[in-house]
Structure 1
Amino acid sequence: MSRRVLLHVGTPKTGTSYLQDVLFHNPEVLAEAGIRYPAERFDAHFLAALDLMRMPWGGLETEAVGAWDALARAVREHDGTAVVSHEILANADRAQVRRALASLGHGDGTEVHLVVSVRDLVRQIPAEWQENVKHRATLSYAAFLEQVRDPERTGRIGSWFWGVQEVPSILDRWAADLPPEQVHVVTVPPPGADPGLLWQRFVTAFELDGVELDLTTDRSNPSLGVPETALVRRINRAANQHLPPAHYRPLVRELVAHRTLSARTDSPRLGLPPELADWVADLERSWIAEIRERGYRVVGDLDDLVGDAPGEWTDPDCPDEAEVAEAAVDALRAVLVETAAVGEERDRLRGELEETRAALEAAYSRPVQRGKEKVVRTLEGSLPGQQVLRVYRSLKPGDSGA
């Protein structure tokens, strides 16, 4: 049974992908420190979260069946500190939270610590719309904002957004049965801060001081600018009905968005419309007051939850068409280069297959040919045999050897 579990439940767009990738690629180093991040594959905790919450996710939910119980079992079997981390856990309801905590050993001798990483709404609102777009969504930014501001929160967009972003509600659900000293709120530093500061805060929250982790990672969730996001949205509208989810992720989300368009860092950034600044600021200040009153352990500064005033506003629903066209050319070039590389690899594999087939045929034909030659020699040694051969050859004029 684990003595301690560090349970990280989000929120999205707070450095979670980087943290998870570092933990996944350092199992030996973590083990030396008595820490286990149980994962046989990089998305193991994501699948476990899908399973726990019974969430549909482009067909992956069928692959996820049993994943939470497997993860919880691996946690309980570890004698030390175990880490569980995925941001969609933020949306778990109270029944799912109770099941999760109990399965991890809460109430049975295991000290469960909750970690929630948070970022200001000025950045989170446009980031969530962009994530929707990178997951095949076609709705406009204006429509997204309208659903987010709907006080009923009955629509899919509003329900999901506040489920994973309303920090006091997340803490209500996940921390209700935990003492405040076992609840850690990690704040994302403001824009312009030292890039390594957030990682240092994670190190403090997860007690990784002195653990020499390799911080090299090839997984991240980079942001896109205004014209790039507008382009992906247009691709979704044109291609969704023709491109199944299994192909969308590697081609659009990974190749086009993450590996190509995210490199265009000089384009206008997504932001919050100026008219929403006061509404957002009031929400942020109310959250800070609630968190401060509850006495949780804060890693960072709660004032980081107050976002900067919106700067120059570029409406992603009416982007500069020349910038969108430039982004489209970059995306098309990337697809062409990838297609050529795939073609070359296909030709190489086809050549290897032909060589293998020829070798197998040669290996098979040698004993067969030797057998045929032996039969011919036997038949030629007798008159009846010679007659049989003549009849056979008359029926197969193209074969004079047998």
Structure 2
Amino acid sequence: MADVVYLHVGAPKTGTTYIQDRLALNRTQLARHDVRYPLGARGDMFHAALDLIERPWGGMLPDAKGEWDALVKRTRRAHGSVVISHEILAGATGEQVERAVASLAPAEIHVVLTVRDIARQVPAEWQERLKHQGRMRYGKFVRRIQKPRSEIGRSFWQVQGVTQVLERWSRQLPPERVHVVTVPQPGAPHGELWRRFCRAIDVDPDWAPLDSVRRNPSIGAPESAMLRQLNDRLRRTRLEHADYRTLVRHLIVHETLATEPVQQRITLPPNHYEWADEIFESWREWIVGSGVAVVGDVEDLRPVRPAPDAIWHDPDRTRPRQVADAALDALVAMIEEAARRDDPDEHLSVRVTKAAKRLRER
């Protein structure tokens, strides 16, 4: 059994894709220093995390049954320290946290939470929901999350509420085994988040020299408006979740819309920064008062207000021409995919996956 297990539990949209890919790329080099990242045949830890938190996730839960136990078995076979990482673990309930910690005993458990300021998390979370067939307007989303008892508010704070997540995951651990890694503000040196994460898991960054090029990219206001409207139209169809993932989320969003520089970045509405400052103060008070280990600077979590003359781009009020341009880009990608279909009997998701691979190779 591993001596130490680091549970990196999120939060979503805090550089987790980059961290996980860099861990995976450097598995062999890290193992030479007795640091294991025990991926299974699936190549990531999503299904194991999904099995633990037991969410439907677009019909994927049945396929995840037994994956957490399989991850625990791989961890038990390892020596030295082990890193387990997936951002949806942030949403685990108290009972699920107890199951996770108990299943990994008697290893010394550490919890790591990467944290980003709320002003950047709000638009990022809204966009992520759009990529999962969301249809809610941005303004309504911002208002709803400020009502914690609303359905949207509960689901948002379950994973983005720093104090709530830490309270659940730190209940059985001493403060020195709970690590808060702050995500640097824009302009920080490249790799700073990785170096901070390495300090949290007691790893020399030089042990993992291969850098990651993977990102979970953002799209701009017109592209987001187009995607929201597309989702609204698609709800009238019988498109399967698997086909949506490959056709819309992967091919249209990641491989087409997100490949261009963002011209109109979505930010927090200007009149909500006082609320964001209140969230920061509550986070800072809890983190400092709890005595948990902080890697980075808590001040990185303070929302940065835009310049007084900055133009705010409202994704609910985009110009029709700009939305149409985004829609045409998506249509071109779909036409290219359709033209490359080799076998009319091949399942749609398989065809689109092959098409996406060809687009990446262009």
Shared fold per TM-score greater than 0.5: yes
- CA spacing shift, 1:3–1:283, aligned 2, 3 Å: same
1:133 equivalent to 2:101? Answer no
What is residue 193 of structure 2 aligned with on the other side?
198
Count of residue pairs brought into register by the alignment: 340
CA distance in 2, matches of 1:43, 1:272: 34
CA distance in 2, matches of 1:256, 1:26: 30
1:97 equivalent to 2:97? Answer yes
Which structure exhibits the higher relative contact order, with contacts defined as CA atoms closer than 8 Å and separated by 6 or more residues?
Answer: 2
What is residue 339 of structure 1 aligned with on the other side?
338
1:146 deviation in Å?
2.5
Match of residue 305, structure 2, among 305, 309, 331: 309
Match of residue 282, structure 1, among 267, 278, 285: 278
1:248 equivalent to 2:244? Answer yes
Q: Which amino acid aligns with 2:261?
A: T
What is residue 354 of structure 1 aligned with on the other side?
none
Q: Which amino acid aligns with 1:303?
A: E
CA distance in 2, matches of 1:332, 1:211: 44
CA distance in 2, matches of 1:95, 1:167: 18
CA contact (8 A) 1:225 1:264 kept: no
Q: Which has the higher helix share?
A: 1
CA distance in 2, matches of 1:197, 1:26: 17
1:318 equivalent to 2:317? Answer yes
CA contact (8 A) 1:7 1:112 kept: yes
CA distance in 1, matches of 2:251, 2:129: 17
- CA spacing shift, 1:169–1:43, aligned 2, 3 Å: farther
CA contact (8 A) 2:26 2:208 kept: no
Q: Which amino acid aligns with 1:139?
A: M
CA contact (8 A) 1:120 1:307 kept: yes
1:264 deviation in Å?
2.8
Match of residue 218, structure 2, among 213, 217, 223: 223
CA contact (8 A) 2:131 2:249 kept: yes
Q: Which protein is bigger by CA-based radius of gyration?
A: 1
1:194 deviation in Å?
2.3
CA distance in 1, matches of 2:250, 2:209: 26
1:266 deviation in Å?
4.0
CA contact (8 A) 2:181 2:196 kept: yes
1:221 deviation in Å?
0.9
CA contact (8 A) 2:6 2:110 kept: yes
| Equivalent position SS for 1:184 | strand
CA distance in 2, matches of 1:257, 1:75: 35
User: 1:105-116 alignment to 2 at 5 Å?
Assistant: 105=105, 108=106, 110-116=107-113
What is residue 173 of structure 2 aligned with on the other side?
178
User: 1:372-387 alignment to 2 at 5 Å?
Assistant: none
CA distance in 2, matches of 1:188, 1:51: 28
Q: Which amino acid aligns with 1:203?
A: C
| Equivalent position SS for 1:232 | helix
What is residue 70 of structure 1 aligned with on the other side?
70
CA distance in 2, matches of 1:288, 1:73: 37
CA distance in 2, matches of 1:270, 1:194: 23
Question: What is the TM-score normalised by the length of structure 2?
Answer: 0.89
What is residue 400 of structure 1 aligned with on the other side?
none
The alignment's C-alpha RMSD in Å is 1.7
User: 1:351-362 alignment to 2 at 5 Å?
Assistant: none
Q: Which amino acid aligns with 2:147?
A: D
Stretches of structure 2 that go unaligned for 5 or more consecutive residues are: 347-362
CA distance in 1, matches of 2:11, 2:262: 27
For residues 102-137 of structure 1, what are the alpha-carbon distances to aligned partners after superposition, in whole Å with 9 as ceiling and x for unaligned? 1011xx2x1111100000010101111111001001
1:119 equivalent to 2:140? Answer no
1:271 deviation in Å?
1.0
| Equivalent position SS for 2:337 | helix
Stretches of structure 1 that go unaligned for 5 or more consecutive residues are: 350-402
What is residue 350 of structure 2 aligned with on the other side?
none
CA contact (8 A) 2:180 2:292 kept: yes
For residues 36-84 of structure 1, what are the alpha-carbon distances to aligned partners after superposition, in whole Å with 9 as ceiling and x for unaligned? 1111245642111111111111111000001111111211221211111
For residues 17-38 of structure 1, what are the alpha-carbon distances to aligned partners after superposition, in whole Å with 9 as ceiling and x for unaligned? 1111222233322221211111
- CA spacing shift, 1:266–1:162, aligned 2, 3 Å: closer
Question: What is the TM-score normalised by the length of structure 1?
Answer: 0.81
- CA spacing shift, 1:43–1:92, aligned 2, 3 Å: farther
- CA spacing shift, 1:323–1:21, aligned 2, 3 Å: same
CA contact (8 A) 2:40 2:71 kept: no
1:166 deviation in Å?
0.7
What is residue 60 of structure 1 aligned with on the other side?
60
CA distance in 2, matches of 1:40, 1:24: 11
What is residue 264 of structure 1 aligned with on the other side?
260
CA distance in 2, matches of 1:69, 1:265: 41
Q: Which amino acid aligns with 2:78?
A: H
1:338 deviation in Å?
2.3
Q: Which amino acid aligns with 1:288?
A: R
1:330 deviation in Å?
1.6
What is residue 146 of structure 2 aligned with on the other side?
149
